[in-house]
Structure 1
Amino acid sequence: MRDYALAPTTASTLTGGLADSIFETADRNPTLPVLARRPDTAAAGWEEITAVELRDEVVDLAKGLIASGISPGHRVAMMARTRYEWTVFCLALWSVGAEVVPIHPTAARDQVEWILRDARCVAVVVEDEPAVMTVGTVCQGLPGLKHVWQLDAGAVPALVQQGALVPLTTVESLRRIVMPDSTAAITYTSGTSGRPLGCALSHRGLAYPCDTLLAGWGHTAALPGEQASVLAYLPFSHVYGLMVMVICLRGGILMGHEPEMTENALASALRSFRPTYLYAVPSVLEKLYKTFLRTAHQHGRGALFERAVDTAREFASVQERQRLGTGAGPGLELRLQHALYERTVYRKLRSVLGGRVLRATSGGSSLSRELTLFFEGIGILVHDGYGLTESSGGITMQPLGREKSGTVGQALPGVQIQVADDGEILVRGPSVFQGYVGDDYATRAALRGGWLATGDIGRLDPEGYLTITGRKKDVIITSSGKSVAPAPLEQRLRMHPLVHQAVVVGDDRPCVGALLTLDPDFLAHWRGALSLPGDAPGREAREENALREEIARAIASANSTVSRSESIRVYRVLQEPFAPDNGMLTPSMKLRRDAIARHYAAEIDAMYRARSRAAQRPGAAEPADWDDADDVFR
């Protein structure tokens, strides 16, 4: 077991609760824009809210909460998309000492009921009428739930009016009794297996990684003399999104809100808001890259784009070797090529994000090295970070000037990382959670002598850079006893433009297999670009064969990164994508592997039976022969 404490502890500056941030900013710099909102989603312009304006809104809403009976220690659920009112409500709740319980707005009825009951919520804030109906179906079994406030029905102005007679001193008195170790949020785990667990996160725990990142990396979020800005679109119901909000509020970073996670809505918001820093998850960055590629092909510039991609990756790779002290910088020819593509390609790609993004952070799951190098090569350095709900978010970050693609960086100052003998990552530091609400057994299992057992597996290199290889519970054991981590294979598969999602399977099976879904936009473009002569039935057959060959190339590319015993031998392409609303993904877009395995049990059995029959044929000893038995248009 190796122990890494890579930097001295950086003490948090928090002396009270998280709501103090906006009060302090309003006193220090009242006219500083801190939040931005659009009058409606179709509007191009953004309305900026100053620190003093936000503070006054928070105080007025806090008065309404007090008048409604909300007291210190009460838990109030927030079941809404990432919108302006979410932030105001959260700050108001923290101002009166209440605890926020985020719930994803699309959570299933049973999950909503479980969280409201498990957390013993006294109130819930919802967004619209369907959410009211969802909560209404579970209210009868929740006698402690006293209020359901609907944002779209005027909940905020109604509460403000209700609290008009509550004196300001009451809010101030409650705010001042909130201590750093008071619980700020009960944030539930993804629930990829079993019921989600409520993680009690303190004000200090949430502030620590945010303050540490601001102290060490905050100056890189914008050009000198320019206010940094971030578009918040990740769900506040997930600790990553909550961390983005806290970073912005404590760092004086202008934060816009985009509630829609659709490609068109996000693209429009990025172009109009023009952030200087981007927080993302791998699926967003993967989709962005595929959109670039598809658009280039549609305009007849596919070959140019692919050459530009190769140059970007090579340029970034050479730069990386230089900053790590293992190589010289880019040569003259490479610099000239890069400069040419900067004028013709790269700056146009950056304009899709508004044209001002300098750096980005990817979290939620590991980002592929190829994608990291691509974005760095076009002028956006992406930090692949690591954290989890139980650690209040961030655990690692890339050290400035020594960023290493393919890793999640080094431990944050004050955080210690150990890698156990079985590869599990253990963490200790000020941001580790207070425990699981109402589940002492699970808390004891997660906290071992002060160390948080993350459930993730990985490795540390001699310089302390951490690489995540997967989840401990996700490791596949084939019938021959071979252990296979599915995440790297899935990551590699998703890099192919046609592959949208990938799930590697193979527990107690003779070999590794995969379930794939295709990217509908790129598939439509790919089909349109095919020039296949002949009659319709003949063209369909040739198109099916061409698609089969293309998917086989994606499989072969993924297999090239692992040993033969770990390689994918069989696969199926599914018609329906994995999504939260069909129960195959969590709200934070993580795969529900158990649910997928149950739902597609028949398809998994069928592809292995086809492999078995193919393997029994004389001479059928190669994966390509087994794949021929699979119908990819399943």
Structure 2
Amino acid sequence: MREYSVPVLVDVPLSANCADIVFERGEQAPGTVLISRKIGDSWTPVTAAEFRDQVAGVAKGLIDAGVEPGDRVALMSRTRYEWTVVDYAIWAAGAVSVPIYETSSPDQVHWILTDSGAEVVVVESEAHERTVVQAMEEEAGKPALWCIDAGGLSELTASGADVADETLKERRLARGGLDLATLIYTSGTTGRPKGCRLTHDNLLFTARNVARGPLEELFEVEGRAALLFLPLAHSLARIIEIVLIETATVIAHTPNMKNVAPDLQEFKPTFLLGVPRVFEKVYNAAEQKASASGSLTGKIFHRAVDVAVAWSRAESSGGAGAGLRLQRALFDRLVYAKLRAATGGSLTAAVCGGSALGERLSHFFKGAGIEIFEGYGLTETSAPSAVNIPGANKIGTVGKPFPGVTLAVADDGEVLVKGRHVFDGYWNNPEATAEAIDEDGWFHTGDVGSLDADGYLRITGRKKEIIVTAGGKNVAPAPMEDRIRAHPLVSQAMVLGDDRPFIAALVTLDPDALEQWKQANGKAGLSHAEVCADPAVVAAVQKAVDEGNILVSKPEQVKKFVILETDFTEESGHLTPSLKVKRNVVLRDFAKDIEALYG
């Protein structure tokens, strides 16, 4: 078994808890701007003192409402300023935060609320309130409920006005590193979500060792600012939120994905957190725009892409030559500067997690002046376990362990993890905990990968998703899926082949890219179904498949594919909130299409 460890950099005291920094900074540096809050069309700064006072007000309201230390308080909201206030207020009151994705169904909400035993729920909107009421209508004991949009936080603050500052301080200081901070329910591609028990120490140890270690450079720049738009109910966005608060990086929240582009240009962040699909869409939009502007512009863009990729590859292996540097300088003026301007002009770095980002796309963004650092982890590991770092970014890997983490690859290829960031088990599920953490303390991730001699981790797939063909060939679907999905017209790709004679794929098309394609090709009148069958579209997907097939052996190559007339979305039930494909649901819902491929 190959192992690789990185020593602890920041030894967080077990007396610390996540809420401490809010009150310490509010006292020591009250004028520091922590958050930029969008009110109407303008961004309003929120100082450390203002943030502390709002957190304290809501925390006192929770105490007045009867919330006791260790009680679970659920939070169902989009990514917005109030989410962060409530999250820290729950900790300040000594309670445990239970995030719920704002897109969750009544059945999912019912499971999380009843399994966690949450006695209080804070929701964003009246629609969320209706979901909670519907979810709990048959339960005898219903949780108390406050709605942000209906003035719920003001109500809590007013009701807690008589709670003494000393009472709040006692509540906060009574919670330490070993106490439960949050229950994050895995989004679950199969079965019921499991509640991951994460302590204050899990979160703070992770946040401080990441912020003062591998990514310190990103959080020490002058004018540092970050735009958060991924769901804060997701463990990756959540830990980044904590890192940003700990490092006093100015945070802006974008609750609607449609507002990301204008908010980037207005807020001008230096740092961004995303999942691969976000960066794929940025690239695809730029390519579609260039192609729609005429054949010459399209050719310039594609040449600029080739140069960016070549320059990045050269920089990773000794440095680019003079000719390549000149070409990059030219295309920086013609193409790359416009791309950076679309992100606000200050963005130079981003962290990407959740799944693999294609190597070519990573090289392109680096060559264009926005370096993307891929990382790896799971909810059970407080999100990250490994991450690439400035100055040592090995594209194609998810980096080295961050300080205090040990990674190993077992003989069967499974990635194992140890460290203070690893959760202490699943809520109300000792059987699942025993399956996940072995007697030697290793957490079994279920992912398959490899460690190189320098300690860089490469993920090749999920252990349970390894396809075994009828001929006995083991195939990891992720690399091929990533390659196909990189095409501008493609939204999702799912590789098939378990117990089948050959590998095949289901492909869906990106609705936004498809509209641009229809306009550019004089086919605006075609229906979605007609476009899916259009020879030019089929040929474009075939090209993406062919490019992926070059990278793998013949038994692993996709022999046939079908373009589905509907996309995989969270609303359709085919994606988790973190945008992972629910393979079992897709296999069930598109069984006829699959049988037709192998008929």
Task: State the TM bucket, normalised to the shorter chain.
Answer: over 0.9
2:384 is equivalent to residue 388 of structure 1: no
Cα pair 2:217 2:390 within 8 Å, conserved: no
Quote how far apart the aligned CAs of 1:531 are: 7.0
1:528-556 deviations in Å (ceiling 9; x for gaps)? 33379xxx9xxx89982222222211111
2:470 alignment counterpart: 479
User: Matched residues in 2 for 1:513 and 1:27: separation?
Assistant: 60
**How many residues end up aligned between the 2 structures?**
593
2:158 is equivalent to residue 161 of structure 1: yes
Letter in 2 for 1:36: S
Letter in 1 for 2:17: G
Letter in 1 for 2:196: C
1:149-200 deviations in Å (ceiling 9; x for gaps)? 1111110001111111111111011011010111100001121011110000
Quote how far apart the aligned CAs of 1:142 are: 3.6
Quote how far apart the aligned CAs of 1:131 are: 1.3
2:104 alignment counterpart: 107
Quote how far apart the aligned CAs of 1:235 are: 0.6
- Distance 1:169-1:7 versus aligned 2 partners, 3 A rule: closer
1:461 alignment counterpart: 452
2:286 alignment counterpart: 292
TM normalised by structure 2 equals: 0.96
Quote how far apart the aligned CAs of 1:218 are: 4.7
Judge which range, 403-412 or 514-523, deviates more. 514-523
1:549 alignment counterpart: 539
| Equivalences for residues 290-439 of structure 1 within 5 A | 290-300=284-294, 301-322=297-318, 329-439=319-429
Q: 2:198 aligns with which of 174, 195, 201?
A: 201
Cα pair 1:220 1:359 within 8 Å, conserved: no
2:266 is equivalent to residue 276 of structure 1: no
2:251 is equivalent to residue 255 of structure 1: yes
Q: 2:211 aligns with which of 214, 217, 221?
A: 214
Letter in 1 for 2:261: A
User: Matched residues in 2 for 1:70 and 1:480: separation?
Assistant: 59
Judge which range, 392-401 or 584-593, deviates more. 392-401
| Equivalences for residues 171-210 of structure 1 within 5 A | 171-210=168-207
Cα pair 2:207 2:243 within 8 Å, conserved: yes
Cα pair 1:221 1:358 within 8 Å, conserved: no
Cα pair 1:6 1:464 within 8 Å, conserved: no
2:575 is equivalent to residue 579 of structure 1: no
Quote how far apart the aligned CAs of 1:144 are: 4.1
1:616 alignment counterpart: none
- Distance 1:417-1:543 versus aligned 2 partners, 3 A rule: closer
1:250-273 deviations in Å (ceiling 9; x for gaps)? 1111111111123xx110111111
Which consecutive unaligned segments of at least 5 residues does structure 1 have?
Answer: 323-328, 610-634
1:128-155 deviations in Å (ceiling 9; x for gaps)? 1221111112324444433011111110
Letter in 2 for 1:250: E
User: Matched residues in 2 for 1:173 and 1:529: separation?
Assistant: 64
Letter in 1 for 2:303: R
| Equivalences for residues 22-37 of structure 1 within 5 A | 22-37=22-37
1:556-580 deviations in Å (ceiling 9; x for gaps)? 1111111110111111111111111
| Equivalences for residues 144-159 of structure 1 within 5 A | 144-159=141-156
Tell me which structure has the larger Cα radius of gyration.
1
Quote how far apart the aligned CAs of 1:10 are: 3.6
User: Matched residues in 2 for 1:307 and 1:394: separation?
Assistant: 35
> What root-mean-square deviation, in Å, do the aligned CA atoms of Structure 1 and Structure 2 show?
1.9
User: Matched residues in 1 for 2:593 and 2:511: separation?
Assistant: 21
1:601-626 deviations in Å (ceiling 9; x for gaps)? 011001211xxxxxxxxxxxxxxxxx
Quote how far apart the aligned CAs of 1:7 are: 3.5
Quote how far apart the aligned CAs of 1:522 are: 2.4
Letter in 2 for 1:496: H
Quote how far apart the aligned CAs of 1:12 are: 2.4
2:120 is equivalent to residue 123 of structure 1: yes
Letter in 2 for 1:168: D
Cα pair 2:215 2:389 within 8 Å, conserved: no
User: Matched residues in 2 for 1:589 and 1:248: separation?
Assistant: 24
Quote how far apart the aligned CAs of 1:314 are: 0.5
2:65 alignment counterpart: 68
- Distance 1:119-1:3 versus aligned 2 partners, 3 A rule: same
User: Matched residues in 2 for 1:220 and 1:353: separation?
Assistant: 20
User: Matched residues in 2 for 1:4 and 1:39: separation?
Assistant: 47
2:240 alignment counterpart: 244
1:441-485 deviations in Å (ceiling 9; x for gaps)? 000100012110001110111111100111111111111111111
- Distance 1:54-1:551 versus aligned 2 partners, 3 A rule: same
Quote how far apart the aligned CAs of 1:519 are: 1.7
Question: Per the alignment, in what secondary structure is the counterpart of residue 49 of structure 1?
Answer: strand
User: Matched residues in 1 for 2:143 and 2:595: separation?
Assistant: 49
Cα pair 1:189 1:198 within 8 Å, conserved: yes
Letter in 2 for 1:521: D
Which consecutive unaligned segments of at least 5 residues does structure 2 have?
Answer: none
User: Matched residues in 2 for 1:313 and 1:54: separation?
Assistant: 43
Cα pair 1:120 1:144 within 8 Å, conserved: no
Question: Per the alignment, in what secondary structure is the counterpart of residue 339 of structure 1?
Answer: helix
| Equivalences for residues 41-60 of structure 1 within 5 A | 43=41, 45-60=42-57
Letter in 2 for 1:594: N
Cα pair 2:17 2:204 within 8 Å, conserved: no
2:17 alignment counterpart: 17
User: Matched residues in 2 for 1:527 and 1:164: separation?
Assistant: 59
Judge which range, 89-98 or 1-10, deviates more. 1-10
User: Matched residues in 2 for 1:126 and 1:183: separation?
Assistant: 22
Cα pair 2:71 2:118 within 8 Å, conserved: yes
User: Matched residues in 1 for 2:83 and 2:516: separation?
Assistant: 38
User: Matched residues in 2 for 1:79 and 1:541: separation?
Assistant: 38
1:317-354 deviations in Å (ceiling 9; x for gaps)? 100112xxxxxx21111111011111121111011111
Question: Per the alignment, in what secondary structure is the counterpart of residue 385 of structure 2?
Answer: strand
2:229 alignment counterpart: 233
Letter in 2 for 1:253: T
- Distance 1:218-1:545 versus aligned 2 partners, 3 A rule: closer
